[in-house]
Structure 1
């Protein structure tokens, strides 16, 4: 099983993250919506093909995400 890592900046205006492997090579890129509700994240590969979309449900007691 391959391990992947996400480094998220605490303070950033844009919602962009890089997913790296154990050798810190970029594998995927995550781009999130900034002003959109509910919040959505697109996961794209190195050729800019979207491979997944995640939606975070708002107004819940505990955070819930859907893919």
Structure 2
């Protein structure tokens, strides 16, 4: 069976509102379940692809700061 996880995740959230997306992200982080990491990765990939260079620099700065804590 050919399962494209990326497409499945995007299809699962494609009709979600901002509130739904936020709830999904918060739930994934709060649950701490490893199985949620691929979904967060796909959402981050989409954010990255849609971000400007300045926004990418800001995200990288925030990631760096978070890793130093």
Both proteins in one fold, TM over 0.5 = no
> Going by fraction, where is strand more abundant, 1 or 2?
1
> Going by fraction, where is helix more abundant, 1 or 2?
2
Return the TM-score normalized by structure 2.
0.23
Highest CA radius of gyration, 1 or 2?
Answer: 2
